[in-house]
Amino acid sequence: MDEVSPTPTSPHRPAPRALEIVPQRILVKEVNWLGDLVMSLPALRAVRAAFPAARLAVLVRENLAGFFDGIDWINETITYRDASGLRVLRRNWHVVRGIRARSFDLAILFPNSFESALWMTLARIPNRAGYATGGRRPLLTHRATPAPDALGGHQAGYWLGMVRDTLGAQTSAETTGEQLEPSRDNLARIRAWLDTQRGRHVGALVAIAPIAAYGAAKEWPSARYVELINRLQEVHGARCVIVGAASERTRCEQLAAVARGGAIVAAGALSLGEQIALLSLCDGFAGNDSGAMHLAAALGIATVGIFGSTNPARTGPLGPRARFILHPPPCSPCLARTCRFGHYDCLHAITASEVAATLVQLGAFDHPEI
């Protein structure tokens, strides 16, 4: 059980190609998954620090736009929808036309997709920075290959390495750890929502994320979550709120129905921005390696990530009050969706008492919100 840090920068990389102008309008194409979005924040903050006077916009999938509701140093959030079949061409033209109309002079590509580089090229953005992967080298004006430190350390270091090696945007103490804020509007809505859900309860509030979209090898057993919810109520007087996606609501409701702790089910009831606000009002978090875990850590609340098949050295929670629990068998980390041996020993080795004790160590119950 430990905390993780982004990979330190490498002093032996070649100097990045200099920009011919000081960019005034910058577009960052963001990544496509919630956990990755959180882990890319240090790199995004490094871009802001490197170009403090520029207008900074992000391009992100529509379902992730709420992530930026409370980040006031981002000037604009541009969204697009997923598409398939013939709708892809229409979507792509809409995206390119919208980008071109804003006259950006620098595009920074966090994903490695060919499509994202093509969008920026067709939008006639003169400077385009990113990793030269997936056959897109000719489409990039400022390019690099992933350095060993970017590939071998925490995933946050991957994007930090890219902005460092393409643009010279450097890491500082301010670009890592706690850095996410909810918007005031979302906070107001969630405070009102919690008033209707909590009743007279005035103790600590702990968020629980029991589902992982990746697969069963990332999911701590439901029985352990039930035991944890009961323990947190009986020993610490805490109320639990179960978070997750709309597709996970039924499973979350089933878990809450079995637990004696009277857990609140928020899964599927909140927008992403509202979920961030909810987590910010919690005293602690416990859950699988998931987007919710990364959100909680970035918000600075006591965060315990429960790891099974995945590698916390690569995707562990970052933040001043974040820890992970892993008891790896010889086959770990396998990075598989399901256990090829069928025993899931890596997850079964973690106990509810251990998770609760870690929340105590992180101060989750020191100053509960009243």
> CA-based angle 264:267:272, to the nearest 5?
120
- Burial class of residue 172 in the structure, from the number of CB atoms within 10 Å of its CB (0-12 exposed, 13-18 middle, 19+ buried): exposed
Maximum pairwise Cα distance, the chain: 64
pLDDT greater than 70 at residue 175: no
Are the C-beta atoms of 311 and 325 separated by less than 8 Å? no
| Tally of CB atoms within 10 A around 214 | 19
Indicate whether 14 pLDDT > 80: no
> Token pair for residue 290?
């998931």
Q: Give the span between the Cα atoms of 323 and 303, in whole angstroms.
A: 6
DSSP state of 257: H
70-87 b/e (C-beta count within 10 Å ≥ 16 → b): bbeebeebbebeeeeeee
Question: Token pair 């919100």 is at which residue?
Answer: 369
Going by pLDDT thresholds of 50, 70 and 90, the confidence category of residue 3 is low
Does 170 score more than 90 pLDDT? no
As a whole number of angstroms, the distance between CA 58 and CA 227 comes to 41
304 pLDDT exceeds 90?
yes
Mapped onto helix, strand or coil, the DSSP state of residue 286 is: strand
pLDDT tens-place string over residues 228-261: 999 999 999 999 999 999 999 999 999 999 999 7
What domains can you pick out in the chain, each with its CATH number?
A: 25-175 (3.40.50.2000), 184-361 (3.40.50.2000)
Residue 221, preceding peptide bond in cis (omega within 30° of 0): no
